[in-house]
């Protein structure tokens, strides 16, 4: 499916940029606030950037949001195995941040499409 106007490509690029930027900002903000024990369970910087940016740009922009959920799940859980050491709070916190990122993306994309005169249907 080809875009009907060049403005549609602009909207897609802006959407991808908002999703990647939002994901990176949320995870970096959270890492600054973590204590040493939880920070030790977080990704190393290169792996974090690869998960947040690489997944979004190479696979699909929404796939990078799974890295946000996993970050909160992993830093709040005591271990990945056994399951009783998992943190439902971390998973829900990650899902809440993803919902906020998607909401901001929808507002930005809708506003941009409206400003460019693209149909909103």
Task: Specify whether the backbone of 3 is left (phi greater than 0), alpha (psi in -120 to 50) or beta.
Answer: beta
* Mean model confidence pLDDT for the chain: 91
pLDDT confidence bin for 1, thresholds 50/70/90: low
Distance CA(44)–CA(99), nearest Å, equals: 25
pLDDT of 3 = 64
Q: Flag whether pLDDT at 92 surpasses 70.
A: yes
Helix and strand element counts for the chain (H, E): 5, 0
> Would you place residue 87 in the very low, low, confident or very high pLDDT band (cuts 50, 70, 90)?
confident
Query: 3-class secondary structure for 49-76?
Result: HHHHHHHHHHHCHHHHHHHHHHHHHHHH
Q: How many Cα atoms are found within 13 Å in the side-chain-facing hemisphere of 99?
A: 6
Specify whether the CB–CB gap between 23 and 52 falls below 8 A.
yes
8-67 pLDDT, tens digit each: 999 999 999 999 999 999 999 999 999 999 999 999 999 999 999 998 888 888 888 999
Place of tokens 């009783």: 84
Q: Model's pTM, two decimal places?
A: 0.90
């Amino acid at each position: 499916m080809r875009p009907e106007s060049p403005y549609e490509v602009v909207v897609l690029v802006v959407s991808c940029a908002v999703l990647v930027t939002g994901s990176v900002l949320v995870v970096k903000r959270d890492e600054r606030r973590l204590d040493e024990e939880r920070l030790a369970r977080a990704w190393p910087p290169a792996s974090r950037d690869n998960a947040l940016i690489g997944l979004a740009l190479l696979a699909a922009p929404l796939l990078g949001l799974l890295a946000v959920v996993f970050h909160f799940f992993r830093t709040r859980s005591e271990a990945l195995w056994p399951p009783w050491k998992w943190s439902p709070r971390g998973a829900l916190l990650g899902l809440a941040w993803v919902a906020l990122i998607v909401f901001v993306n929808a507002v930005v994309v809708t506003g941009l499409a409206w400003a460019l005169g693209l149909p909103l249907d």
